């Protein structure tokens, strides 16, 4: 088994896996995520906000059906903003760059309403210092909020709503388009899908409906953090590598008070550090495979936080089972 693993775990095989992933992503995953949830009619139909930024084209079009009146959906949409209700998305990721964003789970009267020309902050805290914002270029009460693009509330009867998000971008050369697809675009998809799903859950009153999965995920995150800390700090040599993820996690806690973002930051840099400590220079192969797995989880899982937590839990249980099996084999 070890021989077979070593044959697979070589540079050429890893590069082949990475190339195959890129091919599948560009040909299959990217068209899907770029029009996630949107119908053919919605993709081609004009929306308020089209042409506001001259020289831009439609970069993405995403939509979701919400089983709640449009007036209720709008109350959540109009609260968007770092200084308001957050973005109802993956704030544990946003706070990795010390954005200090916290999603609200309630409708606040003081956040209801905008005017054209208002600033809506997208980040704040230590890094951006309130310098990252969008100007509300178009605003229609009850229907449209224009930030990075058009966020449109379309009623479908009295009790259902289509929430549509269309983004715009300046046309790029072919090579730059490919780079954008492999970097920014999938990250934007993860956050925008999170926003659409977050608004849906709140408007439908379904927030927190998967408590058992959430608890299991949190257990996975905690176990993974403790296990990684043990690997980093119980070593006689190189233990100081653990100070890097620890310092990063501490900074996140200080500036955002987000414990789960701090845990994410510790695991992010901790895995990289532990990989080099355990595998040395050959860790680039494991890191490349890990990047593929991480991107796939982010893109395919509607709730990445839960997906990662469950994955950590399964990996931990497998490691315990393998350790017990090895112990029994050694005793025999």
| Banded pLDDT at 3 (limits 50, 70, 90) | low
Tokens 């355990």, residue? 278
Q: Rounded to whole angstroms, how far apart are CA atoms 125 and 131?
A: 10
Provide φ and ψ at 35, rounded to 5°: -125, 35
Q: What is the pLDDT of residue 1?
A: 47
Measure the CA–CA gap between 190 and 298, rounded to whole angstroms: 7
Q: Would you state the pLDDT for residue 126?
A: 53
Inter-residue contact 55 to 170 (CB < 8 Å): yes
Give per-residue pLDDT as tens, 184-202.
999 999 999 999 999 999 9
Q: What confidence tier does 236 reach under pLDDT thresholds 50, 70, 90? A: confident
> What's the CATH number of domain 35-203, 3.30.530, 2.40.50, 3.30.70, 1.20.58?
3.30.530
Per-residue model confidence as pLDDT tens digits over 6-48: 566 677 888 999 999 999 999 999 999 999 999 999 999 999 8
pLDDT tens digits along 38-82: 999 999 999 988 988 888 889 999 999 999 999 999 999 999 998
pLDDT band at 320 (very low <50, low <70, confident <90, very high): confident
Domain ranges in the chain?
Answer: 35-203, 210-331
Name the percent of the chain lying above pLDDT 70. Answer: 92
Q: Cite the DSSP H helix spans in the chain.
A: 2-8, 11-24, 30-34, 40-44, 70-77, 91-94, 125-128, 174-180, 186-203, 211-233, 243-256, 259-279, 283-300, 304-331
pLDDT tens per residue, range 116-136: 888 888 876 555 555 578 888
User: 């500036």: which residue's tokens?
Assistant: 255
pLDDT at position 240 = 84
């Amino acid at each position: 088994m070890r021989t077979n693993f070593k044959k697979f775990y070589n540079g050429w095989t890893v590069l082949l896996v990475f190339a195959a992933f890129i091919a599948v992503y560009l040909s299959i995953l990217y068209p899907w995520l770029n029009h996630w949830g949107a119908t053919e009619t919605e993709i081609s139909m004009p929306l308020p906000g089209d042409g506001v930024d001259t020289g831009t084209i439609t970069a993405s079009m995403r939509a979701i059906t919400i089983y709640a009146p449009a007036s209720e959906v709008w109350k959540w949409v109009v609260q968007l903003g770092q200084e308001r209700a957050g973005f109802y998305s993956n704030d544990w990721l946003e706070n990795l760059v010390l954005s200090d964003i916290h999603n609200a789970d309630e409708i606040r009267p003081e956040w209801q309403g905008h005017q054209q020309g208002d600033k809506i902050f997208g980040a704040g805290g230590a890094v951006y210092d309130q310098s990252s914002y969008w100007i509300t270029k178009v605003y229609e009460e009850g229907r449209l909020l224009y930030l990075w693009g058009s966020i449109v509330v379309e009623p479908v009867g009295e009790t259902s709503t289509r929430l549509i998000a269309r983004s715009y971008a300046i046309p790029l050369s072919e090579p730059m388009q490919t780079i954008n697809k492999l970097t920014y675009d999938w990250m934007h998809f993860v956050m925008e899908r999170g926003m659409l799903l977050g608004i849906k859950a709140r408007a439908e009153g379904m927030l927190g409906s998967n408590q058992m999965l959430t608890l299991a995920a949190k257990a996975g995150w905690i176990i993974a953090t403790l296990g990684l800390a043990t690997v980093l700090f119980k070593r006689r040599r190189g233990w100081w590598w653990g100070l890097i993820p620890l310092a990063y996690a501490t900074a996140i806690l200080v500036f955002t008070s987000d414990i789960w973002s701090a845990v994410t930051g510790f695991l992010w840099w901790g895995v990289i550090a532990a990989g080099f400590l355990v595998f040395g220079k050959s860790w680039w192969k494991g890191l490349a495979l890990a990047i593929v797995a991480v991107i796939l989880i982010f893109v395919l899982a509607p709730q990445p936080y839960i997906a990662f937590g469950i994955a950590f839990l399964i990996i931990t249980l497998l490691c315990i089972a393998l350790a017990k099996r090895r112990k029994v084999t050694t005793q025999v």
